[in-house]
Amino acid sequence: MENSFDPHDIEQPLYTKWEQAGHFAPTGNGVPYCIMIPPPNVTGSLHMGHAFQHTLMDTLIRHARMKGRRTLWQMGTDHAGIATQMLVERKLAAEGIDKHAIGREAFVERVWEWKRESGGQISQQLRRMGSSLDWSRDRFTMDEGFSRAVREVFVRLHEDGLIYRGQRLVNWDPQLQSAISDLEVESEEESGHLWHLRYALVGGARTTGGKDHLVVATTRPETMLGDTAVAVHPDDARYRDLIGQSVQLPLTDRQIPIIADTYVDPAFGTGCLKITPAHDFNDNEIGTRHGLPLVNVFTPDAHLNDNAPAAYRGLDRFAARKRIVADLTSLGLVEKIQDHKLMVPRGDRSGAVIEPYLTDQWYVAMDELAAPAIEAVRNGDIEFVPKQYENLYFAWMRDIRDWCISRQQWWGHRIPAWYDDTGQVYVGRDEAEIRAKHGLSKTVVLTQDPDVLETWFSSALWTFGTLGWPDETPELELYHPTDVLVTGHDIIFFWVARMIMMTLRFVGEVPFRKVYIHGLVKDSEGQKMSKSRGNGLDPLDLIDGIDLPSLIAKRTDDLMQPQMAARITKATQRDFGSGIPSFGTDALRFTYCALASTGRDVRFDMKRIEGYRNFCNKLWNATKFVLMNTESVELGGPRELSLVDRWIESRARRMIVDAERATATFRFDLLASVLYDFVWHEYCDWYLELTKPVLWDEGASVAAQTGTRTQLLRILEIALRAAHPVIPYITEALWHRVAPLTGAAGETIMIQPYPEADDLAADADAEAAVEWLKTIVIGVRNIRGEMNIKPGQAIPLLLQGGTSDDARWLEASRSLLGRLAKIERIDWLDADASAPPAAMQLAGELKLFVPLAGLIDVAAERSRLDKEIARKVTDLERIEQKLGNQSFVAKAPEDVVAKERARAGEARAAVAMLRQQLTDLENI
């Protein structure tokens, strides 16, 4: 074997082998276990967040498969409507092509081309991550079967009266020229102004203060052209008299009424609120209450339309704002302009400022869908991990609003609705069904609704649409409800909630029993990784490595804001001065698991992955050691397990118990640490070292050596299986070398059973003995280290006092001690004998002496003892104080008090012995 582990030699061939052998598809007759992949968008390549998520899912899947479950990890991708359409539009624009020039059909064909390319890239990346997805069932949210499910759901909801078409204000993206849902609007605080505008009172009316005008304050002066009222609070004494009167709307020939509504806050501004029902959600509600007309002054691309006075028609909304403010200023109608912070709504895809805009759209009525979905979580049918996300879910669900599902886009599921010449709408699975159902003759021309459904409408059907619904398939019967959904908290509303609602409605059962919410992957400074920040990492670059120039090129290529390039280059040089070395998939996966603590975002730290690459190397070299000592040796004869052999087995048992618990509770971080600790700190640091004296002792019995050799193999083989779900490649590679020697050979580790704790013997006695041994070794090493005794220098050890256990354990491990602490000889001192000048360590009641002769600096030993005494005295004082507290003795449980008493005794004895030693030393 090579001296260090090189992931490249093994990863891809192993994956290919697994895939070709069909190991990713469900097999056997075990209890089904199913996870649906959150379908990645076909917008490009996978990022760190995907790789993180896929690692966690694959870990669960591989574990379940090894536990004998009939395991399906469903593969698929999402058409990602707007995102994909924008991406392809941009690509076409780069070729100088406008989508309108080539037309809808050709455009959609171009998107399909892109989808094929992008989908291939995604599956390649997933394969590199080691993801054991069932590729044979790969689905796409716009494939034929899925499209059928989408139409079916739409039609049924429409029949049930839960889908309707309505004209109301929507969030309109003037750049996309499409409606978007509430969730797709992101509001951020931006600096703006508050314009105070004078609206003249009509008919000589006066305010209480004697003014002949009202002053309204607005952040959006351009919408004033659509005002249809001014509202005041009904109890506002300043204006009560004016209710029912009118004002002259400036720049127009319209007069609008002064109305009273309790929505108005008299304390804000002047207490007068301009009402623009066609361009503001709150105003719209007020308008409805008061029967106000809606005056829409915008075109779909947010230019002023013909409802505006001629002077402003055709102006863009921002240009119109400037012109209107200028005109009002010159008319003396601007009272003042204040700086003002306001929340500006922007489209999450386009970044354009969203307009509340009056259009006809399709909606899903949510109340009836939401109620059972709330109940399913409330009663525990679905459980969120971590639990606190349930509150987030409830809060949103209880306040849910109807869902606008139509998009004025080309890429997506066409809405299954048709119109005749008169505008009459028909909804059905296809045109033929509609004609038949409504008895429409061939002469009636039907035109399909040009709009598409928003992406999340189809994603909401993911768990059952992929399994063949609306047909009653065996897969649906077998794998649904799925076991767990693994996803990020950013899409709980977008996706998780809607899946729960749709699945309960159409399948009558929950889509999944658990929802594991993981954190988002951030960079080492806690910043979100994104293309525009230039701080993203490609998981493949961590696996394969990348040089600095390539990384910079990747990060600065094709930026939306090219001026960022210089800054990104600098930051990249700072963080990755010599590029990124190749770490391999297993190290990356282990890192993801180790970082996946509950409810926390993940800061990706290069130091961590480095450490876990080292861990893989450690495992590799441990295996190398074991093979060196077991290959070409006869292992068939009688075998005898030593104390140490039984100890590691007992520890392995604990490790399996802990690993199972961590996996069952989605504590991937604990799983990683359990594996790490066992392999490194128990198996390598102690077990391997403790086997050397046996393996290399010519006097050792063959049975003892055979026992140790077979145990080395057996425990390693178990550790490999235990770790396989996290680090599949290296464990598979090593397993093929190790397993044959244990007689446990098979085609692949991935379908071997997961280790069972009950197959390993617990041995409390062996654990206590080795624990003792470790204490002694560490005690002697401490003297060595602190006294600067050369590692090569063998030292004698004297023992005094101690219990019968001490004596027994010493005899059981005398030769091991010699080897591990480089002790040349061990002798007992009589209880009353005085020790020669020596450095002393306590191990309970046992005194360890390393004689000074020629080795030890007396002054150094004194200060070492001083330090130790100080430590023990502090300890003792604390305990005595506790025991001196009457209420502690009276109220604390007996065993706790007893424990403290024992500790006090121990500490007192230790202090006495250490002080005596110090005195002895001073007398030299």
Partner RNA sequence: AGGCGCGUAGCUCAGUUGGUUAGAGCACCACCUUGACAUGGUGGGGGUCGGAGGUUCGAAUCCUCUCGCGCCUACCA
Q: Write out the binding residues for RNA, residues 235-264 only, by CB under 7 A.
A: 263-264
- Contact status: 268 vs RNA (CB under 7 A): yes
Taking contact as CB under 7 A, which single stretch among the options 144-152, 448-456, 717-725, 882-890 is the one that binds RNA? Answer: 882-890
Q: Which stretch binds RNA (CB under 7 A): 68-76, 119-127, 591-599, 828-836?
A: 591-599
Nearer to RNA by C-beta: 264 or 507?
264
Q: Residue 270 contacts by C-beta under 8 Å, 6 or more apart in sequence?
A: 196, 214, 215, 216, 217
Q: What is the DSSP string of 740-765?
A: HHHT---S-GGGSPPP-GGGS---HH
Cα–Cα distance for residue pair 131/587, rounded to 1 Å: 14
Task: Give, as ranges, the residues between 202 and 221 that touch RNA (CB under 7 A).
Answer: 217-220
- Other beta carbons within 10 angstroms of residue 296's beta carbon come to 17
Give dist(CA 133, CA 247) in Å, integer. 68
Site for RNA in 384-423 (CB under 7 A): 388, 391-392, 395-396, 399
For residue 101, give the DSSP letter: H
| CB-nearer residue toward RNA: 336 or 681 | 681
**CA-to-CA separations, 226 to 24, 292, 296, 785, in angstroms, rounded:** 61, 11, 6, 84
Q: Do the Cβ atoms of 204 and 237 come closer than 8 Å?
A: no
Residues 6 to 65 in contact with RNA, rule: CB under 7 A: 6
Q: Identify any residues that bridge with 201 across adjacent strands, giving them in sequence order.
A: 247
Nearest approach, Cβ of residue 539 and RNA (Å):
18
Nearer to RNA, 237 or 267 (CB): 267
- Residue 790 sits in the site that holds RNA (CB under 7 A): yes
Q: How far is the CB of 26 from RNA (least distance, A)?
A: 33
Select from 833, 838, 837 the least CA-distant residue to 800. Answer: 833
Q: Which of 887, 894, 919, 924 binds RNA (CB under 7 A)?
A: 887
Q: How far apart are CA 107 and CA 188, in angstroms?
A: 33
- Asked if residue 138 binds RNA (CB under 7 A), the reply is no
For the segment 692-721, give every residue that binds RNA (CB under 7 A): 692, 696
CB of 877 to RNA, least distance (A): 10
Site for RNA in 525-564 (CB under 7 A): 526
Among 782, 852, 880, 909, indicate the residue that binds RNA (CB under 7 A).
782
Which structure tokens are listed for 182? 């509430």
5 binds RNA (CB under 7 A): yes
**What tokens were used for 770?**
């080795």
Dihedral angle over CA of 453, 459, 460, 463, nearest 10: 150
Q: Which of residues 421-460 bind RNA (CB under 7 A)?
A: none
From 427-435, 530-538, 541-549, 688-696, span contacting RNA (CB under 7 A): 688-696
Question: What is the total count of residues that contact RNA (CB under 7 A)?
Answer: 98
- Tell me how far, at minimum, the Cβ of 103 lies from RNA, in Å: 36
- Residue span binding RNA (CB under 7 A) among the ranges 168-176, 461-469, 678-686, 796-804: 678-686
Instruction: Assess 342 for contact with RNA (CB under 7 A).
Output: yes
Q: Taking CB under 7 A as the criterion, which residues in 722-751 touch RNA?
A: none
Out of 290, 533, 603, 736, which residue is the one contacting RNA (CB under 7 A)? 603
Residue 724: which residues within 8 A CB-CB, separation 6 or more? 62, 66, 731, 732, 735, 749, 750, 752
Tokens describing residue 313: 């028609």
For residue 834, the 8-state DSSP code is P
828 in contact with RNA (CB under 7 A): no
State how far the Cα of 587 lies from the Cα of 615, in Å rounded to an integer. 8
Minimum CB separation of residue 762 from RNA in Å reads 18
Q: Count the neighbouring beta carbons within 10 Å of the beta carbon of residue 650.
A: 19
Alpha-carbon dihedral sign for residues 6, 9, 10, 11 = positive
Q: Please give the residues from 653 up to 672 whose contact with RNA meets the rule CB under 7 A.
A: 669-670
- Three-state DSSP at 598 gives coil
CA separation (Å) from 98 to 172, 413, 414, 898? Answer: 22, 22, 21, 84
Measure Cα distances from 834 to 196, 226, 367, 755, 906 in Å.
97, 104, 87, 52, 21
**Sign, CA torsion 444/445/448/450:** negative
Q: Where does this chain touch RNA (CB under 7 A) — which range of 133-141, 424-432, 595-603, 744-752?
A: 595-603
Tell me the C-alpha distance between 622 and 619, whole Å: 5
Helix, strand and coil percent figures for the chain, each rounded to 5: 50, 20, 30
> Does residue 296 interact with RNA by CB under 7 A?
no
| Interface residue with RNA, options 509, 786, 845, 857 (CB under 7 A) | 786
Residue 67 binding RNA, by CB under 7 A: no
Binding to RNA (CB under 7 A): which residues in 455-514? 489-490, 493
Nearer to RNA, 595 or 733 (CB): 595
Binds RNA (CB under 7 A): choice among 673, 748, 775, 815? 673
Closest C-alpha among 348, 333, 233 to residue 286: 233
Q: How far is the CB of 788 from RNA (least distance, A)?
A: 6
348 touches RNA (CB under 7 A): no
Pairing verdict, β 482-488 and 512-518: parallel
Shortest Å distance, C-beta 419 to RNA: 32
From residue 480, give the alpha-carbon distance in Å to each of 477, 483, 504, 508: 6, 8, 12, 11
Tell me the closest approach of the beta carbon of residue 908 to RNA, in angstroms: 13
765 is an interface residue for RNA by CB under 7 A: no
Stretch that binds RNA, among 445-453, 504-512, 559-567, 598-606 (CB under 7 A): 598-606
Report the site for RNA in 610-649 (rule: CB under 7 A).
610-611, 613-614, 616-618, 621-622, 624-625, 628
The answer to whether 183 contacts RNA (rule: CB under 7 A) is: yes
> Which of 303, 872 has the CB closer to RNA?
872
User: Residue 19 or 383: which CB sits closer to RNA?
Assistant: 383
CB of 156 to RNA, least distance (A): 28
Judged by CB under 7 A, does residue 883 bind RNA? no
Site string for RNA, 830-869 (x = CB under 7 A): -------------------------------------x--
In whole angstroms, the minimum distance from the beta carbon of 622 to RNA comes to 4
Can you tell me the distance from the alpha carbon of 734 to that of 502, in angstroms, rounded to the nearest whole number?
46
Number of H helices and E strands in the chain, helices first, is 29, 28
Closest distance to RNA from the beta carbon of 181 (Å)? 10
**Axis-axis angle for helices 643-664, 48-66 (nearest 10):** 120
Closest to RNA by CB, 480 or 784: 784
The answer to whether 826 touches 799, Cβ cutoff 8 Å, is yes
Binds RNA by CB under 7 A, chosen from 106, 326, 331, 343 = 343
With CB under 7 A as the contact rule, the residue among 559, 565, 892, 909 that binds RNA is 892
Three-state DSSP at 604 gives: coil
- Position among 32, 81, 271, 468 found at the interface with RNA (CB under 7 A): 271
Residue 288 binds RNA (CB under 7 A): no
Decide whether 427 or 719 has the Cβ nearer to RNA: 719
- Encoding tokens for residue 298? 């915008």
Q: For RNA, which is the closer residue by CB, 108 or 180?
A: 180
From 290, 903, 908, 915, residue interacting with RNA (rule: CB under 7 A)? 903
Side-chain-side CA neighbours of residue 268 (13 Å): 14
Q: Counting contacts by CB under 7 A, is residue 893 touching RNA?
A: yes
Measure the CA–CA gap between 56 and 59, rounded to whole angstroms: 5
Please, what is the minimum distance in Å from the beta carbon of residue 266 to RNA? Answer: 7
Select 223 or 642, whichever has its Cβ closest to RNA.
223
